[in-house]
Amino acid sequence: MTDTPTVEPTKADSLSMRDNRTGREYDIPITDGTIRAADLRQIGVKGEPGLATYDPGFVNTASCRSAITFIDGDLGILEYRGYPIEQLAEQSTFLEVAYLLLHGELPTQAQLDEWVLSITYHTFIHENLKQFIEGFRYDAHPMGMLMATVSALSTFYPAASKIDDPENRMLQITRLIAKMPTLGAFAYRHQQGKPYVYPDNSLSYTANFLAMLFKMSEPTYQADERLVHALEVLFILHADHEQNCSTNAVRSIGSSQVDPYSAVAGGIAALYGPLHGGANEAVLAMLKRIGTTEDIPDFIAGVKDGKEKLMGFGHRVYKNYDPRAKIIKKACDDVFEVTGVNPLLKIAQELEKIALEDEYFVKRKLYPNVDFYSGLIYEALQFPAEMFTVLFAIGRTPGWLAQWSELVQDKEQKIARPKQVYTGIRSRDFVPMSER
Ligand code: ACO
């Protein structure tokens, strides 16, 4: 993995600070636009711990040095290993992008062929895992099933705990990327009460996933190529997004040196939440609840009054149009050409138009994010809403694993263990029950 070289700080690359409690002055080196929080420890008053930063939600704290994904939130730029997302979405395949994220370079034809073959080879899951899925209730949420089955994979592959062995790491990475569609599809079939469909290794990664979801009695399930392509683009758009909530969870769990299945299961849990990957499900529910374009102004008024959020809008990093949302908006047209237009599209478009002109959203730089239109496509592709986040998880798996791989090779990383500012009561004597 390549890494950006560290610039040796000079006096000019430093921050001068004066602690007004003591009158002492400090020069803190600045490297790559950051100061090291540990350098603040030297600033202190005698008898008290050194200075620390307080940053709930890590809004201005870098947790790692990474060479995988670049985002400029103000300009709306997203690049994987330096390649713009627009070019990858248009010219690449999901497995090619996965290779790029993991290895840092686009594969040659021979490397891609070998990669696709090894992914294809690992698509099947152990029959015991199928029985494990059967144990879930008929109405279990597929994300809960996915989280549990990915976690269970660590019991099938105990060698995965040897995270210092590069060959072993790559084997587990290949396995997990290969098995995610199978686990996602089995969770879906379980919920539907339909028999599981085994992988068809003559199909592409995405076409095989659609076959495992929707095949019934036909000998081969052939999904419409345009729909396969649209889903492939969606997977590419979701493949990585630097230090988002779920990736941070994967890195944080991975920092304990646990196996990658356990770390990714934690990422899936984080993704499940409505403020993260669960947002597209929430967008669809919101659009259905609004019902007609005439009801949009009332809804917007409620959002501005703080009664609820406009789901699919706003982003911690993007203070501009999310570049992924632009690509998805275009993919909507391609999908609707095959499936017919989702009637909720009109409400979404009108909602976007009104919000983008409204001072509340303009002032806060709230633009559509990746989740605003993706739910409409997923619904048109016949996915029930509970499956939306599963699709996100399948797409994000190469990113989680590339970030995990970078983490375990980064000599500077330590077990994640943030500080706290303690605000509770100190040292008091235990009160017996009879005296409370
Ligand atoms: N609707 C209405 N107001 C909003 C929204 C929204 N969707 N998002 C942010 N705001 C407002 C906040 O209320 C706040 O207003 P205030 O300054 O008056 O208090 C201001 O904009 C800043 O918002 P924060 O919550 O501080 O922004 P943060 O970076 O913490 O949150 C988040 C980002 C979680 C994505 C937020 O915008 C949100 O909840 N959006 C809706 C959920 C969503 O779409 N999530 C998907 C994100 S993309 C992804 O995970 C793949």
Pocket of ligand 1 (CB under 6 A): 275-277, 279, 303, 309-316, 364, 366, 369-371
What letters, b where the CB count within 10 A reaches 16 and e where it falls short, cover 396-427? bbbbbbbbbbbbbebeebeebeeeeeeeeeee
Q: How far is the CA of 364 from the centre of ligand 1 (A)?
A: 9
pLDDT band for 430, please (50, 70, 90 cuts): very high
Domains, the chain: 14-58 (no CATH), 79-407 (1.10.580.10)
Segment 371-377 mean pLDDT: 88
- Average the pLDDT over each of 139-143, 380-384, 407-411 and give the range with the smallest value: 380-384
Question: Residue 280 has what pLDDT?
Answer: 86
Residue 305 known to be catalytic: no
Segment 59-86 mean pLDDT: 96
- Of ligand 1's listed atoms, the one at least distance from the Cα of 309 is 1
pLDDT band for 4, please (50, 70, 90 cuts): very low
pLDDT band for 1, please (50, 70, 90 cuts): very low
What is the average pLDDT score of the chain? 93
Q: How far is the CA of 292 from the centre of ligand 1 (A)?
A: 24
Nearest residue (CA) to ligand 1, atom 29: 316
| Residue 266 in tokens | 């934690």
Mutational pocket test of ligand 1: of 275, 352, 392, the residue with most ligand atoms within 8 Å of the beta carbon: 275
pLDDT digits (tens, 9 = 90+) for 269-293: 999 998 888 888 889 999 999 999 9
Segment 151-172 mean pLDDT: 97
Question: Residue 6 has what pLDDT?
Answer: 45
pLDDT digits (tens, 9 = 90+) for 195-211: 999 999 999 999 999 99
- Average the pLDDT over each of 5-19, 28-42, 244-258, 398-412 and give the range with the smallest value: 5-19
Q: How far is the CA of 315 from the centre of ligand 1 (A)?
A: 6
- Whether 2 has a pLDDT exceeding 80, the answer reads no
- Whether 7 has a pLDDT exceeding 50, the answer reads no
Nearest residue (CA) to ligand 1, atom 35: 315
Q: How far is the CA of 356 from the centre of ligand 1 (A)?
A: 15
- Of ligand 1's listed atoms, the one at least distance from the Cα of 360 is 3
Q: How far is the CA of 363 from the centre of ligand 1 (A)?
A: 13
In terms of C-beta density within 10 A (0-12 exposed, 13-18 middle, 19 or more buried), how is residue 358 classed? middle
Residue 141 known to be catalytic: no
Segment 419-435 mean pLDDT: 96
Segment 403-420 mean pLDDT: 96
- Whether 319 has a pLDDT exceeding 90, the answer reads no
- Of ligand 1's listed atoms, the one at least distance from the Cα of 245 is 50
pLDDT digits (tens, 9 = 90+) for 12-58: 799 999 999 999 999 999 999 999 999 999 999 988 889 999 999 99
Segment 50-73 mean pLDDT: 95
Nearest residue (CA) to ligand 1, atom 12: 364
Tell me the whole-structure pTM to 2 decimals: 0.91
Tell me which of 190, 240, 315, 322 is the catalytic residue: 315
Mutational pocket test of ligand 1: of 59, 303, 307, 313, the residue with most ligand atoms within 8 Å of the beta carbon: 313
Three-state SS for the chain is CCCCCCCCCCHHHEEEEEECCCCEEEEEECECCECCHHHHHHCCCCCCCCCCCCCHHHCCCCCCCCCCEEEECCCCEEEECCEEHHHHHHHCCHHHHHHHHHHCCCCCHHHHHHHHHHHHHCCCCCHHHHHHHHCCCCCCCHHHHHHHHHHHHHHHCHHHHCCCCHHHHHHHHHHHHHHHHHHHHHHHHHHHCCCCCCCCCCCCHHHHHHHHHHCCCCCCCCCCHHHHHHHHHHHHHHCCCCCCHHHHHHHHHHCCCCCHHHHHHHHHHHHHCCCCCCHHHHHHHHHHHHCCHHHHHHHHHHHHCCCCCCCCECCCCCCCCCHHHHHHHHHHHHHHHHHCCCCHHHHHHHHHHHHHHCHHHHHCCCCECCHHHHHHHHHHCCCCHHHHHHHHHHHHHHHHHHHHHHHHHCCCCCCCCCCCCCCCCCCCCCCCHHHC
Question: Residue 10 has what pLDDT?
Answer: 55
Tell me which of 72, 276, 334, 410 is the catalytic residue: 276
- Alpha-carbon gap, residue 434 to 436, rounded angstroms: 6
- Of ligand 1's listed atoms, the one at least distance from the Cα of 316 is 29
Residue 371 known to be catalytic: yes
High-pLDDT (> 70) share of the chain, %? 97
